Amino acid sequence: MPAAVILGGHWGDEGKGKVIDLLAERCAYNVRYSGGSNAGHTVVNEHGTFAFHQVPCGIFHPGVIPMLAAGVVVDPEALLAELAELECRGARPERFYVSERAHLVLPYHRLLDGYLEAQRNELRLGTTGKGIGPAYSDKAARDGLRVGDMLDPVRFVQLVRRRTEIANQYITAVYGGEPMDVDALVRQCAEWATLIAPMVCDVEREIRAALCRGQLVVLEGAQGALLDIDAGSYPFVTSSSSGVAGACASLGIPVGEVGPIVVALHAYMTRVGEGPFPTELEGEAGQYLLRVGNEFGATTGRPRRCGWFDAVASRYSLDVNGATSLAVTKLDVLDHLGHVRICVAYEIDGKRVRYLPSRADVLARALPVFEDMPGWKQSTHDARRWEELPSAAQAYIRRIEELMGAPVSIVSVGPARDQTLVLRDPLAVP
Ligand code: GDP
Ligand code: IMO
Ligand code: MG
């Protein structure tokens, strides 16, 4: 049975959480494959509203085994706090597993994230401050600590001590900051290791075996395809491979073992943090989407920048990742507008182009070329079937489908689970 991948096709916050919650119900395993506590995936269910940061969104479904795979960077302090809070609020999975290959985010990574951002000044990226860049840097430099290291407590504390001492050298000599208390951190890490150890296993081997047994595995993306370290608008990206290739690398599964790929796209665009955003709406129009869409970061609370649907950037995401179907979310946010716009090309230095430039400085000069469509000026919140959508909303979805070259399987018209139209089975194996 091929694995299903669900990922975001924009700069994050496409409503992946809702889509994953919806689809994970049917799966045996729900595995996060990239990123760390920089993610904020919102799920609204009978227990309340949840913003998942590291824990996979399907954790509430009985029988689903949530896992974190090798490509995730695990912040043990934040993970333990998140699991404890979820337990208090009704999530009691029988099992929860973390890959022994996953790297750790330790407190010095978070500290260094802040110093690096301060040092960038006007070139800052607007990171979430969760230590993601420094943790993936250590991983690539082969200086990282892995979750599996926690299984040998004596060696683990030695490694923590050594890494913290080195981090302190940077903190004091390069940034002029206060060193971390090495002994306190070592003690803290030993405690986290005791608590995390029972969750550690060879997640990737488990998943390959599950796929051989024909079980349904849903691989959960974080961030969005436009924030991918390679494919995204570098340097305004995150530090992981958020696309489908990242899922294969993280899980150690052959590319041919991936089946359904569901790409979540909002019906407009948002972006948190810095970086080029050709269709960004400034002034009242942007404020309108911010307000109606309640566009505040689920992790940092920062207001999200908002703009019209960018078919050039979205199509690029699909070209890079492939998609067997699309989940178009937040359609309802556009409900009361007189017209809606789709960016179908860019004008860059007087030339019309229909591709996403690889350089962020070039993308920053892109002027959007819009196609206008009539608005529908009525609520879609209560629509549950295609026929219940106003015809102008149907035309908007069909146009997105046409421009993306992929069918829409899900239309979301509100944050709640039932505010969803399923047009075809998103998990059907192609
Ligand atoms: P994720 O990171 O992709 O999971 O998305 P976030 O959870 O960060 O942001 C999506 C926000 O939109 C959350 O507050 C969701 O509850 C909300 N949301 C999801 N789908 C819809 C929808 O169709 N309509 C509206 N109005 N809100 C939605
Ligand atoms: P979900 O999974 C939106 C953005 C940050 C910043 C850049 C780098 O909820 O969609 P980082 O902390 O990763 O080094 O920050 O990436 N970013 C996100 N934006 N949603 C996310 O996650 C994001 N994760 C990181 O705002 O611009
Ligand atoms: Mg989010």
Mean of pLDDT over the chain = 97
3-state secondary structure of 356: coil
Atom in ligand 2 nearest the alpha carbon of residue 41: 9
Q: 88 CB contacts (<8 Å, ≥6 apart)?
A: none
The alpha carbon of 58 and the centre of ligand 2 are apart by a number of angstroms equal to 21
Give the pLDDT confidence score for residue 1 in this predicted structure: 82
The alpha carbon of 193 and the centre of ligand 1 are apart by a number of angstroms equal to 34
Give the pLDDT confidence score for residue 131 in this predicted structure: 98
> Rounded to whole angstroms, how far apart are CA atoms 27 and 250?
19
Q: Decide: pTM greater than 0.85.
A: yes
- Cis-peptide into 235, omega within 30 deg: yes
> Rounded to whole angstroms, how far apart are CA atoms 387 and 240?
40
Give the chain's residues under pLDDT 70.
Answer: none
Does the active-site annotation cover 13? yes
Residue nearest to atom 6 of ligand 2 (CA): 127
φ/ψ of residue 377, rounded to 5: 45, 40
CB 106 within 8 A of CB 137: no
- Which tens digit of pLDDT belongs to each residue from 132-144? 999 999 999 999 9
Out of 10, 13, 53, 332, the active site residue is 13
Give the pLDDT confidence score for residue 422 in this predicted structure: 98
Spell 33-59 as b/e; 16+ CB within 10 A means b.
bbbbbbbbbbbbbeeeebebbbbbbbb
- Which tens digit of pLDDT belongs to each residue from 245-303? 999 999 999 999 999 999 999 999 999 999 999 999 999 999 999 999 999 988 889 99
Does the active-site annotation cover 109? no
> Rounded to whole angstroms, how far apart are CA atoms 318 and 332?
23
Q: Which residues does a 6 A CB cutoff place in the pocket of ligand 1?
A: 8, 12-18, 40-42, 44, 293-294, 298, 329-330, 332-333, 412-415
Decide whether any atom of ligand 2 lies within 6 Å of the 278 Cβ. Answer: no
